[in-house]
């Protein structure tokens, strides 16, 4: 093989390596995981290739995914389009993301009690970006958590997944107005849907609502 031919082969191999690296980087922007190669195929309720009409739809879908997989979520950072109040990108993260600052250390004052530390710096998150028509797309998704997720039996207690919907709220209100205890009204709802885990909110939420 002459020098010119050899150089062409080497350049071709090098170009192929660069292309492979670019493809890998591109995939990493969408889905980062240490365990599952394609979350859209392995988990229900969340699809990284889906398009959502607005923030509400995107967040509700992520909340459903979070509940189905045993963690609570919260809204995090967002950015706006230049010279506009329209959202350009927004992050939804695991509720254990980051580390909360200690008020005691910042103020120098002692409190009567200190809430337990629940954040673990969990990296799990999704970043949505909006297009010119206002639709929401997934730009980045990190699946991995750094703590043990909640078991199916306790997932109804996850804070971001609890919701006293109008239909059940109406039943609670009418029963308690009739003199039925809140605990009994909640037990009735739980029996109707096959257990507390299917009610959609906790007994404590019921008391707060009433």
181 domain residue, yes or no: yes
Between 150 and 9, whose confidence is greater? 150
For 135-159, letters b (16+ CB in 10 Å) and e give ebbbebbbbebeeeebeeeebbbbe
Instruction: Give the total number of structural domains in the chain.
Output: 2
Q: What is the pLDDT of residues 97-142, one digit of tens each?
A: 888 776 545 555 666 655 566 788 899 999 999 998 999 999 999 9
Q: What is the pLDDT of residues 156-200, one digit of tens each?
A: 667 666 554 566 777 878 888 888 988 888 888 888 777 776 666
Q: Are residues 145 and 173 in the same domain?
A: no
CB 33 within 8 Å of CB 123? no
Q: Where are the alpha helices (DSSP H) in 71-118?
A: 103-107
4 domain residue, yes or no: no
Q: Are residues 62 and 133 in the same domain?
A: yes
83 domain residue, yes or no: yes
> Range of 196's domain?
166-209
CB 120 within 8 Å of CB 96? yes
Q: Are residues 59 and 115 in the same domain?
A: yes
CB 41 within 8 Å of CB 130? no
């Amino acid at each position: 093989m002459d020098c010119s031919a050899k150089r062409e082969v080497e350049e071709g191999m090098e170009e192929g390596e660069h292309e492979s690296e670019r493809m890998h980087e591109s995939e990493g922007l969408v889905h980062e995981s240490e365990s599952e190669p394609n979350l859209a195929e392995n988990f229900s309720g969340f699809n990284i290739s889906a398009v959502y009409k607005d923030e509400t739809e995107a967040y509700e879908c992520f909340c459903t995914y979070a509940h189905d997989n045993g963690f609570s979520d919260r809204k995090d950072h967002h950015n706006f389009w230049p010279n506009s109040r329209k959202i350009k990108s927004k992050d939804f993260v695991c509720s254990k993301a980051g580390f909360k600052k200690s008020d005691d250390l910042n103020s120098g004052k002692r409190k009567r009690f200190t809430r337990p530390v629940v954040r673990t710096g969990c990296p799990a998150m999704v970043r949505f970006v909006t297009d010119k028509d206002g639709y929401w797309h997934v730009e980045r998704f990190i699946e991995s958590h750094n703590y043990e997720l909640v078991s199916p039996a306790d997932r109804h207690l996850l804070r971001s997944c609890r919701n006293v919907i109008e239909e059940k709220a109406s039943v609670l209100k009418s029963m308690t107005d009739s003199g039925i205890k809140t605990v009994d009204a909640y037990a009735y709802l739980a029996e109707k849907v096959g257990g507390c885990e299917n009610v959609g909110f906790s007994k404590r939420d019921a008391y707060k609502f009433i």
